[in-house]
Amino acid sequence: MPAPSDYDEFAYIEWIRAHVSGHSRLTLGIGDDTASLHFPAPADCLITVDMLLEGVHFQIPPLTPRNAGRKALAVNLSDLAAMAGQPLAAVVSVAFPRGRKPDFHRELHRGIQELADQFGVAVAGGDTNTWDGPLVISVSVVGEATGSAAVRRNGARVGDWILTTGSFGGSLAGKHVSFQPRVNEALQLHQAVSLHAMIDVSDGLAADLHHVLQESGVGAVLSADAIPISEAARSATDERTAIERALGDGEDFELLFTVTPQEGRKLLSEPPVDVKLSHIGEIVEPKTCELKDSAGVRRLLLPTGWTHAF
């Protein structure tokens, strides 16, 4: 798998090889042409990839290489969570800016490894390169569907309640680096109720809700008062309102999902997860997305999080 261009990179790979954790399902890790992950029974193998680019998705500083490594894995774990999948293994390709010291390389790996260990994910392989460009990290995570099937975006049904974990907006103040991918929460929710549709909120609450609506062929009405607005969104000082930040900011990495009203009530009265659950709206037949204020006035909610009067 690795085709490094010089011996420092071989040395880095050997260092990683000595620092990764074992995994009961990993039948072959770093050091061959591919990794190998055992599926002991018929399974749906989930696969995702995300690429983070220095100067686009992050800057070092203020982030450290450890932050960047952690985040590159975390965004993928969030994608697995969105399917209620169990992540199992990650492969990592990196382009390092030339001239960085070994500790820069190692800190990046430590950021990945710590989060991988927290979620029981094997760091199974990778490809390491050095170049004259900025830092590039691409992580691909493989996992497996749990329960009866993976939870897709396209299953929202008219009448469903729309629920979310956590709170929204202002992630760039810090949460975008330190967020906890909602892997365990998704598994707990998937066990407790029938999740009709689910997505992780990376583009923004309004944008990702629109993805669910588009794939499901339905619309939604959200209650402005019910949107859980983060402290960071409340205390920000740009020209927008707090709710516009909550609807538009992105990088919250919370879950948005739909269930029957009955199961929604069950989740709110006996939450199977520690994180706050909020009932923010309903799925409706007309294929529009509206935001309703406390006076009952409805406005069109755009994927950007901005609202327009009808």
Binding residues (CB under 8 A) for a copy of itself: these are: 1, 3, 5, 27-28, 31-51, 53, 55-57, 75, 79-80, 82-83, 85, 89, 91-95, 124-127, 129, 131-134, 136, 138, 140, 142-143, 145, 150, 152-154, 199-200, 202-203, 215
- Rounded to a whole number of angstroms, the minimum distance from the CB of residue 91 to a copy of itself is 4
Q: Taking the chain, what is the end-to-end CA distance rounded to the nearest angstrom? A: 55
**Minimum CB–partner distance for residue 89 and a copy of itself (Å):** 6
Q: How far is the CB of 128 from a copy of itself (least distance, A)?
A: 9
* β-sheet bridge partners, residue 291: 222, 299
Nearer to a copy of itself (CB atom), residue 150 or residue 301 = 150
**What single DSSP character describes residue 198?**
E
Shortest Å distance, C-beta 45 to a copy of itself: 5
Instruction: Between 164 and 242, name the residue whose CB sits nearer to a copy of itself.
Output: 164
Residues 262, 264: Cα–Cα separation, whole Å: 5
DSSP 213-279: HHHHT-EEEEEGGGS-B-HHHHH--SSS-HHHHHHH------EEEEE-HHHHHHHHHS-SSSS-EEE
Judged by beta carbon, residue 292 or residue 305, the one nearer a copy of itself is 305
Residue 283 β-bridge partners = 220
Dihedral sign (CA 127, 128, 129, 134): positive
Task: Give whichever of 35 and 221 is closer to a copy of itself, judged by the CB atom.
Answer: 35
Kindly tell me which of 31 and 102 has the beta carbon lying closer to a copy of itself: 31
Minimum CB distance to a copy of itself, residue 74 (Å): 13
- CA separation for the pair 233, 181 (Å, rounded): 20
